[in-house]
Amino acid sequence: MSAVTFAVLAVIALGSALGLVFKKNAIHGALFLVVNLGTVAALYLSLGAEFLAAAQVIVYAGAIMVLFVFAIMVLIPGKEETGPDPRRPYRLLALPVGAALLAELVLVVVARRGADTGAAAPIPGGVEAIGRLLFTDYLFPFELTSVLLLAAMVGVLLLARRRAG
Amino acid sequence: MVPETWYLGLGAALFAIGVVGVIVRRNPLVIFMSIELMLNAVNLTLVAFGHRHGSPDGQALVFFVMAVAAAEVAVGLAIIVAIFRLRQRLSVDDLSAMRW
């Protein structure tokens, strides 16, 4: 992928992330997050991870974001952040903290970029390679995932049910 | 060819933005979405590292992260809905019942 394509995708990703954080309306934030997830899916494609790009769109941009939008519509958003912020100084403190964290992370990335080959061996990113890996080396975690999802489903039913009386 | 370091830098920036979102916002739904943003940044980092080392293991790890994130979102949203039923308000500043 050319550097220009990467730059465009990176700008879209960063812009939508900032939109999520700084837009008041939660629905707008959800739509920004969908844009961000789609952009990250495109970045996966550029890294040769086709399976993950598809899974990203289906699982994140599809299932999880539908859940979010449903929850936002059920919970009448936009009412809770309209009043004056009683803890404004603490929240403004988040910006320097975030900037410090970013500087730290970038410093680590730049300091450790020694093995940056650029054109590493082409890795098999297709469904076949991932499926083979999941059903051989990672078989036990894969089966545990199904138990986790089942437990989450039962837990959600228990939490969200209306108690009688 | 774009070097992986750029992907790592982008992942770091997205993660930092997610952290700021978690601290700044008062709506628990937006806080949750910021957490998703951070998870995504980490996933991008994992894929970039897998690309650098030429192994698909990083992608398998991202698959598991996605599954756990799906479970986490479902349970978290159920908890938020339950809290909203109890309180009729939805600001994390009001939720101090478990504060020591």
Chain B: residue nearest A114 by CA?
Answer: B5
Q: What is the pLDDT of residue A95?
A: 87
Measure the CA angle with vertex B60, ends B56 and B61; round to 5°.
115
B17 residue type, one letter: I
Q: What pLDDT was estimated at residue A39? A: 95
Classify domain B4-87 at the CATH class level.
Answer: mainly alpha
Residues 42-71 of B with CB under 8 A from A: 43-44, 47-48, 50-57, 59-60, 62-64, 66-71
A72 neighbors A30 (Cβ within 8 angstroms): yes
User: pLDDT tens across B71-84, in order?
Assistant: 999 999 998 888 88
Q: Hey, where are the domains in chain B?
A: 4-87
In this prediction the pTM is 0.89
pLDDT bin (cut points 50, 70, 90) of residue B36 is very high
Q: Report which of B96, B86, B40, B5 is spatially closest to residue A41, judged by C-alpha positions.
A: B40
The shortest CB-CB distance from A47 to any of B14, B47, B73 is to B47
* The predicted structure's pLDDT at residue B56: 85
**Residue A109 dihedral angles phi and psi, to the nearest 5°:** -60, -45
The answer, yes or no, to whether ipTM is higher than 0.85 is: yes
Per-residue pLDDT of chain A (165 residues; tens, 9 = 90+): 688 999 999 999 999 999 999 888 888 999 999 999 999 999 999 888 888 999 999 998 888 999 999 888 887 655 556 666 777 777 888 889 889 999 998 888 888 776 555 555 566 657 888 888 889 999 999 999 999 999 999 999 998 887 765
User: Under an 8 A CB cutoff, do B29 and A67 touch?
Assistant: no
pLDDT average, residue stretch B32-57:
90
Among B79, B71, B39, B56, which Cα is nearest to A146's? B71
Spatial separation of the C-alpha atoms in residues B5 and B44, rounded to whole Å: 12
Q: Is B1 close to A118, i.e. CB distance below 8 A?
A: yes
